[in-house]
Amino acid sequence: MTDISSTNIKEGSAEIVSGGNVFYNPVQEFNRDLSVSVLNVYFKKLQQERKAKGVSVIEEPQAGVKYENGMRILEALSATGLRSIRYAKEIAGVKEIVANDLSKPAVKSIEENVKYNEVEDLITPSHNDAMTLMYTSTAPEKRFDAIDLDPYGCPNRFLDGAIQSIADGGLLLVTATDMAVLAGNTPEACFAKYGTIPLRNKACHEMALRILLRTIEGHANRYGRYIEPLLCVSVDFYIRIFVRVYTGQNQCKYSMSKQSTVYQCTGCDTMTLHTLGILKPNPTEKNPNQVKFSIPTGPPVNTHCDHCGHKHHVGGPIWSAPIHNKPFVKDLLEHIHQNPKGTSKRLNGMLTVVSEELDDVPLYYAIDKLCCVVKLEIIPSLKFRSALLHAGFKVSYSHACKNSVKTNAPPSVLWDILRSWHKQFPVKAERMLEGSPVKNILSVEPKQIYNLVDIHPDANPESRRSALARFPENPTPHWGPGTRATIMIGEDKISKSIKNQNKHKKAKDVGDSPEAKLAKIELDNNK
């Protein structure tokens, strides 16, 4: 974190010069670059939709110019105002950006930075509680075309107001940094905040995305609204989602079929999804596309896992429909190529992986974890993917995990492939303990022979062949969310981290010193 009272900060087209106690967070540059690009592509899409309805549109909109029929954007938690200033200077077709913050020093910083960057006609600084501001903007004429929520931690308390104050078809941008909660470290806290039980597994980052989507959909359904995900990504220490919000009571009925509970084996981590609702075709003469909504029967698993014999944990519900709009992602990639940003290399890599992800397969497995369950030598990724492709299944990576395998093959096929691998590289006999997942899985003969020799031409995707920056390492030490992004009190994260390094070892060393031992003897004698 950097104190901008003594340092000028340049990012994109913006420059921050004022300060006080408001801090700039360079970690989030990728987040801001992505958001600028998404809003630009979204506005182009919005223009196309308005033009198709016969509504007047802006011909060749320019960034930095105010348009009366342009977008109204709310940055509800603005801090320095950097994001809003970048939106004003880099997004074409803006009418107004409301840069709001509850902190007086933050709002003062916003005002000074807005003036310095000469965007007073586009940005309206606001000193208000974010929820109050959104709840007083629910009238149709006051609603925003886009609302950006980038809080410190959980965004849940802002979602109800955001859903009510966003225009029909508007874009909601949400960040969540409480990954320990979303990833399953404290399921009780996740249930209290998000109404969902997370599961600890290698797919926890995608599950976090799907938990947040399910939560937003729940808020939307209360007001006869529903969401359409455009892009949902897990990045560094946070998740970031971009969804459009629509109004339609009938479409809300489909929400039940977009959500599922998750059964996870406690022994081998095999996951089975069970949808909350089923759609059955029910055509009529008036409506040949009519469907009937029904409740599924279940559960979809036995009391004990079919693969290893252990019991199951039950998590969810989570969003189980697609989390990306592939045509939108394609347009986004084209926009980034034409309008490079500071983090374009990483943007291109991540979005290319996203464009390759399977749409209809929620969650994923990690190859190293699968091999770890059965104590096998780790099978090379290309061999594992090739075996699935040769067997007629689809496979992709997930942007959320480097060693992931997302496939429409049932779990039995994954274990069968590892059984075939076991024949080439057998597990030591002493590891085949009675009742263990190792013995229960590997003692079964594979149902067919899988090709583990020939590399399938589609096993190595374009993102990997081109050596794109798909999963970059952290660029600096102490890479993380830091402390709260508005007013900082006391030590910053880095100095505190340095002070606390090896503190347990230091305490032990002090306790073992002759002085400490003598003091302990004297204390015992005085008792």
What digits encode the pLDDT tens for the residues 150-203? 998 999 999 999 999 999 999 999 999 999 999 999 999 999 999 999 999 999
Residue ranges of E strands in 266-408 = 271-275, 278-281, 291-294, 312-319, 365-366, 395-398, 401-407
Nearest to 44 by CA among 22, 59, 65: 59
The answer to whether the beta carbons of residues 485 and 79 sit under 8 Å apart is yes
Q: Is residue 289 part of a domain?
A: no
* Residues 317 and 381 grouped into a single domain: no
* Residues 251 and 387 grouped into a single domain: no
Which of 323, 338, 353 is the endpoint of a domain? 338
Look at the chain and report how many structural domains it folds into. Answer: 2
Nearest to 102 by CA among 499, 486, 489: 486
Q: Is residue 180 part of a domain?
A: yes
* Residues 328 and 454 grouped into a single domain: no
Averaged pLDDT for residues 141-151: 97
pLDDT tens profile 42-65? 999 999 999 999 999 999 999 999
Residue 479 has pLDDT above 80, yes or no: no
* Residues 216 and 176 grouped into a single domain: yes
417: confidence class by pLDDT, cuts 50, 70, 90? very high
Coil, strand or helix: which one is 124?
strand
Averaged pLDDT for residues 404-421: 96
272: confidence class by pLDDT, cuts 50, 70, 90? very high
482: confidence class by pLDDT, cuts 50, 70, 90? low
* Residues 30 and 159 grouped into a single domain: yes
Residue 498 has pLDDT above 90, yes or no: no
Residue 18 has pLDDT above 70, yes or no: no
1: confidence class by pLDDT, cuts 50, 70, 90? very low
* Residues 110 and 238 grouped into a single domain: yes
Which of 322, 338, 354 is the endpoint of a domain? 338
3: confidence class by pLDDT, cuts 50, 70, 90? very low
What distances in angstroms separate CA 522 from CA 430, 507, 512, 517, 527, one per listed residue?
Answer: 53, 20, 15, 9, 9
Q: Is residue 34 part of a domain?
A: yes
The answer to whether the beta carbons of residues 110 and 62 sit under 8 Å apart is no
CA 235/CA 170 separation, integer angstroms? 24
Q: What is the reported pLDDT for 286?
A: 86
Q: Is residue 406 part of a domain?
A: yes
**Dihedral angle of Cα 472, 476, 481, 484, to the nearest 10 degrees:** -160
Which of 436, 458, 480 is the endpoint of a domain? 458
Q: Is residue 277 part of a domain?
A: no
* Residues 24 and 162 grouped into a single domain: yes
Task: Please give the residue range of the domain that contains residue 371.
Answer: 364-458
* Residues 129 and 224 grouped into a single domain: yes
* Residues 143 and 199 grouped into a single domain: yes
Coil, strand or helix: which one is 403?
strand
504: confidence class by pLDDT, cuts 50, 70, 90? low
* Residues 242 and 324 grouped into a single domain: yes
* Residues 325 and 442 grouped into a single domain: no
Q: What is the reported pLDDT for 289?
A: 86
207: confidence class by pLDDT, cuts 50, 70, 90? very high
Q: Is residue 511 part of a domain?
A: no
In degrees and rounded to multiples of 5, residue 429 shows phi and psi of -60, -35
What distances in angstroms separate CA 57 from CA 45, 53, 54, 94, 169, one per listed residue?
Answer: 11, 10, 9, 12, 16
* Residues 107 and 165 grouped into a single domain: yes
Q: Give the CATH number of the domain where residue 426 resides.
A: 3.30.56.70
Q: Is residue 198 part of a domain?
A: yes
Q: Is residue 260 part of a domain?
A: no
Q: Give the CATH number of the domain where residue 183 resides.
A: 3.40.50.150
Cβ contacts of 52 within 8 Å, gap of 6 or more: none
